[in-house]
Amino acid sequence: MKTLNLFLLASSALFFSGASTLAGIKTVIDHNPNESATGAFKFKHVPPVSKNDAATKAKLTLVDGVQDENGGDLEKLHDGKAPAEEDQPAENFFFNAGTEGGRILLDLGNAIEIKQVNTYSWHPNTRGPQVYKLYGSDGKADGFNQQPKNGTDPEKCGWTLIAKVDTRPKTGEPGGQYGVSISDPESGLGKYHFLLFDMSRTESDDDFGNTFYSEIDVVDRNPSETSERSPAQAGSETVEAAGGTYKITIDTSETPDLTQWAHEKIAPMAREWYPKIVQLLPGEGFQAPNNFSIMFLKDMRGVANTSGTRIRCAGDWFRHNLEGRGRGVPRNGACRPAIRPGPAR
Ligand SMILES: [Ca+2]
């Protein structure tokens, strides 16, 4: 019967509607307990983490509170990625140990009709659950305060309270993965330019009550206006490595049939290996570029060449060598970034 119990536990994702702040707004909470939480980060009701929602290009600002330096920076909240493991500080943003949380501003660039706001977190203990208030604003009210500090009531300076979220279970262990989806199926959440997350720690019994937030997604009601095409279709994607220290642009706009392959094979390889290559090739006066691009060209002959921070690859050669040599070009080594002596920046 142990198997059955485990199965029941695994499938007992917590689900309820309610906790509405404004009429019609629903907050759905999914909880995958430690026993069933995996790197797949899948929930029963809450959508999976998105990498091309309206938050992907939003600007995030720490309004109040102190970031825990053991964690990732704010970029982790909209990089479209969830942690692969239950206790992976670098892949989450969290407020400093012993503090009461803080406030994060999300600037969407312009006012959009928001369909849904989804938030994700994962930790094996009390840093798993989410406790926050979500406010929205179009930024147009008289006396609008874009960055109200802790203690300033956002509702008194141009903000509207959208939802109060508290996913702490009444009974049982708090650890695991949480997905929260705030939406109004009838009329949407409203038209907002800014969102403000007022985040609280989940407990103050010890110093470790600040939630490991993994991602924030904002879903546009009219996605054609603002959302990007998925990286697999766009022809150009930028890969961040070493926590955003390095940015690698992979351009397949001339060779769209290679886009999916580049996304699946080249992007992860570049992300993993470029920081290692930089470390393996130290030297005085050397400064490895932080940004470079890899282009796959339609009419180029040969295999690949490098100029400055641009690597040019012959689409035709790679098309015929997709598995095996294509990924590393080991013989002539041309498909590596130019790391050459130069003035240190
Ligand atoms: Ca993330």
Angle, CA of 8, 13 and 15, to the nearest 5°: 135
- Give the distance (Å) from ligand 1 centre to CA of residue 4: 33
Q: Is the pLDDT of residue 28 over 90?
A: yes
Q: What separation in Å is there between the alpha carbon of 59 and the centre of ligand 1?
A: 14
Name, in order, each residue with C-beta under 8 angstroms of 259's C-beta and a sequence gap of 6 or more: 232, 233, 234, 235, 252
pLDDT bucket at 309, cuts 50 / 70 / 90: confident
Q: State how beta strands 213-220 and 236-241 pair.
A: unpaired
**Collapsed DSSP state (helix, strand, coil) of residue 336:** coil
**Could you tell me the two tokens for 17?**
């509607």
Task: Give the pLDDT mean for 163-182.
Answer: 96
Q: Which residues surround ligand 1, an ion (CB under 5 A)?
A: 76, 79, 81, 215
Range of lowest pLDDT (14-18, 20-24, 177-181):
14-18
Distance 242 CA to ligand 1 centre (A): 14
Cα 132 to ligand 1 centre (Å): 18
pLDDT for 22 equals: 60
**Given a cut of 60, is residue 129 above it in pLDDT?**
yes
Helices (H) and strands (E) in the chain, counts: 7, 13
Nearest to 155 by CA among 166, 168, 144: 144
Distance 174 CA to ligand 1 centre (A): 21
Spatial CA neighbour of 34 closest among 127, 132, 166, 130: 127
Residue 260 CA to ligand 1 centre (angstroms): 22
Rounded to the nearest integer, the mean pLDDT of the chain is 85
For residue 14, the one-letter residue type is L
336 alpha carbon – ligand 1 mean position (Å): 28
Ligand 1 centre from 92 Cα, in Å? 7
Identify the band that residue 42 occupies on the pLDDT scale cut at 50, 70 and 90.
Answer: very high
Ligand 1 center–CA 340 separation, angstroms? 33
With the C-alpha atoms ordered 45, 196, 71, 204, is the resulting torsion angle positive or negative? negative
Cα 93 to middle of ligand 1, angstroms = 8
pTM equals 0.62
Per-residue CA distances from 20 to 141, 165, 219 (Å): 24, 9, 19
Domains and CATH numbers, the chain: 2-226 (2.60.120.260), 231-328 (3.30.2010)
Q: Is the pLDDT of residue 226 over 50?
A: no
